[in-house]
Structure 1
Amino acid sequence: MNLTYLASRLGNIAPFHVMELAKMAAALEQQGRSIIHMGIGEPDFTAAPQAIEAASRAMAQGLTQYTSALGLPALRQAISSHYLQTYGLQVAPERIIVTAGASGALLLACAALVEKGAEVLMPDPSYPCNRHFVAAFEGQARMIPSGPAERFQLSEAMVRAHWGPTTRGVLLASPSNPTGTSIEPAELGRIAATVRERGGFTIVDEIYQGLSYDTEPFSALSLGDDIIVINSFSKYFNMTGWRLGWLVVPEALVPQIEKLAQNLFICASAISQYAGLACFTPEALALFEERKREFRRRRDFIVPALEELGFTIPVKPDGAFYVYADCSALSDDADRLTRDMLQKAGVVMVPGLDFGSYCPRQYVRISYATSMENLQEAVRRLQDYFRTGNSKNVVK
């Protein structure tokens, strides 16, 4: 193929360092090395038994054909009921669109709202794919440096200061990947009000909202019907490979999103939708809450353990399953440090390079979405790594 025909937008999409480290780790495992994975943000828990049984029934009954582009009506109603039971919010099922994962939801939202040259404000650091969704529609993600003082998040003052003539909205995540930090509800309300005053859109990625550990349940949907929210069955519901998510939009936007969904996706997987419906049974929800408590137990172990190793945790994560750790006391290059730890200690962490340009070589992201036994073994390996001088080529 003549590569001169490739679209120029590909130049705006950067490689994903997380996946590069995962490939390096896989190569070491093929050589017989024991590797502990604390890089990719994927729960070690898998789909609930109720979801698996529902998928099996759907296949046995032949419920495998296209659904509405908006999703199964029963699933949209179940998600609506979940908002009422968990957050006390009345969210009409007609505003809920079932998607092919949160990525599908973000793609639809950006397709509907982002046009060429439009600027979208995001915190730096952020999940890299979010800015790439904006770039895919020829918009410009404006990454605003957001440090520990801001909990690695945008504030209302920052939005007000950086809003320009081409700014069309904000794309936030709470809790966030890579930091595990949330935006305080009152501050998020002020951000939404400021964006509203300027006629912009507010998109909030809430795929980790079910994994908030230190606060009362909260959704940005409580801030007004104009807020657009993304969610997923991947994290709290432990269904990463099922590729199922949802999007909540203002009622007037539903026909436009439906038109896009019909053309871009036709529908989310029917089998996954029937499995997702079973996630809202009392038995499944009890299991997810039990797993949530286990994630919190892991967080409460790994944060002080990392500090004892010499990492600095400037903001304690309150959600998701990530720690964003300052490694500057150990190395002046997080990328080099993570590669060296993988080679010599068999522990995968990822550098801040993927997540923006704010001090990317100062921070590493650690995922604690693995067993407590693995976390304990990783700490033991890293204790040896730093104590025995294996890190001498990367430590200051």
Structure 2
Amino acid sequence: MRVLEEARALEEQGCDLIHLEVGEPDFLTPGAVVTAAGEALASRPLGYTPAAGLPALRQAIAGYYGWRYGLDIDPARVLVTPGGSGALQLALMAILDAGDRVLLTDPGYPCNRHLVSLAGGVPDALPVWPEQDYQPTLAALEQAWTPRTRALMLATPANPTGTTLTPARLGALHDLVASQAGALIVDEIYQGLLYEGEDHSALALNSEHVFVANSFSKYFGMTGWRLGWLVAPQAFTEVLVRLAQNLYLAPPTLAQYAAGVALAPALRPELDRRRDRLRARRDLLIPALTSLGFELPAWPRGAFYLYLRAPADQPTAAALAARLLQQGGVAVTPGCDFGTNETSTMLRIAYTQSRKRLQVAIDRIATVLRDR
């Protein structure tokens, strides 16, 4: 977000900035969702909803897992939240006592460690490596687990790497966590944005140890609507509702009325076409940037990020990011934002702009590298 603030400051000075630093594609909210929001505005008062969300939306989310993944999810296990971050916050506050420890992948989504601390827990970095697709191994998890460890947080597809876990690998990690009576919190907010491999959900594990966070932001194109959801074990639903009542009272009402349309099978072709456009952007950037000296340590099968090692002649990735912003008008995120595990040489590039703009960005990056 610091890079975004600096980029916007340059834009206010008249600079033409290409934003490849923020995980927000340039697509408009689907028209059917906007229409549903307009109908809700015109036809009903937009008062508070139940803390767990509109019953119809909870039912629609459960139904989505049914028609798309063949899963039978009880709507009572679904809580609608203010964004995916709200879902993660609820899960952590429900399971953690003061001083409990949570394992987080490094590199990983930077807000997670702060969410753990906010819930009274202690974040423990779990280094992950490109040879394992930047996802934990059983051996590393077993070694890192302590008597005070309460949970493991994962993401598939992952931020910043775009890597994924297969069902078998996810299941093996789950079994180890369950054997320790721990919780497995799986961030699936990039679900649906998968370019290779099997699209699946951790909910298929059918386990009382699994919490799944998801969001309408990424695949559904509703970032600014701030709406997500949590699917939790039945035993936790009562405490989660009480937490929601006290933390934020209710999720955004208008967004809830609009979001049900996003989950309908009729919208999937439009959303999948957007996914295919993102894949084409990925496939444009990878050969172009590797030809300039960047290295891609692990293949990004999902999300919309490239996690790249900067060319070897660059002092640090953060310094290169600053030069790209100031000299090239291209905003990217330095890897140090995502942890400390060999991140000083890494950059995250979000392919969230059109192919035409990405080509301009490629040319600008080439110029900055050449004019060093």
With normalisation by structure 1, the TM-score equals: 0.92
Aligned residues: 371
Structure 2 CA distance for aligned equivalents of residues 355 and 328 of structure 1: 19
SS of residue matched to 1:210: coil
Cα contact 2:166–2:198 (8 A) shared by 1? no
**Residue 46 (structure 1) shift:** 2.2
Matching residue's letter, 1:384: T
Aligned twin of 1:3: none
CA displacement at 1:280 relative to structure 2? 2.3
Corresponding residue for residue 13 of structure 1: none
Q: Please list the CA deviations of residues 4-35 of structure 1 after superposition, one character each: whole Å capped at 9, or x if unmatched.
A: xxxxxxxxxxxxxxx11112111211221111
Contact 1:207 1:232 in 2 (8 A): yes
Task: Indicate the residue corresponding to 2:23 in structure 1.
Answer: 41
Give SS of 2:161's match.
coil
The one-letter amino acid of 1:246's match is W
- Answer yes or no: is 1:257 the counterpart of 2:212: no
State the partner residue of 1:86: 68
What does 1:120-199 align with in structure 2 at a 5 Å threshold? 120-199=102-181
Matched, 1:52 2:34: yes
Question: Which residue number corresponds to residue 356 of structure 2?
Answer: 373
SS at match of 1:211: coil
2:273 to 290, 294, 297: 290
Q: Which one of the candidate residues 301, 304, 307 is aligned to 1:324?
A: 307
Partners of 2:6 and 2:47 lie apart in 1 by 39
Question: Aligned residue for 1:247?
Answer: 230
Rounded Cα–Cα distance in structure 2 between residues aligned with 1:122 and 1:330: 31
Matched, 1:26 2:44: no
Separation in 1 of the partners of 2:97 and 2:181?
A: 15
Are the equivalent residues in 2 in contact too, given 1:311–1:330 (CA < 8 A)? no
**3-state SS in 2 of match to 1:209:** coil
1:328/1:363 contact within 8 Å kept = no
Aligned 8 A contact 1:156 1:188 in 2 = no
Which residue does 1:314 correspond to in 2? 297
Q: Is the 8 A contact 2:89 2:119 kept in 1?
A: no
Structure 1 residues 210-289: aligned runs within 5 Å: 210-226=192-208, 227-289=210-272
Identity rate, percent: 44
Distance 1:311 1:103 in 2: 31
Answer yes or no: is the 8 Å Cα contact 1:172–1:203 preserved in 2. yes
- Secondary structure, aligned partner of 1:168: strand
Once the two structures are superposed, residues 216-238 of structure 1 have per-residue CA deviations (whole angstroms, 9 ceiling, x without a partner) of 22001111232110000000001
Q: What are the ranges of 5 or more consecutive residues in structure 2 without an aligned counterpart?
A: none
- Rounded Cα–Cα distance in structure 2 between residues aligned with 1:322 and 1:161: 29
Once the two structures are superposed, residues 297-329 of structure 1 have per-residue CA deviations (whole angstroms, 9 ceiling, x without a partner) of 111111111101110001110000000001152
CA contact (8 A) 1:44 1:371 kept: yes
Cα offset for 1:274?
A: 0.7
Aligned-partner Cα distance in 2 for 1:136–1:70: 21
2:368 pairs with 1:385: yes
- Stretch of structure 1 that moved more, 206-215 or 328-337: 328-337
RMSD: 1.1
**Any conservation in 2 of the 1:84–1:91 contact (CA below 8 Å)?**
yes
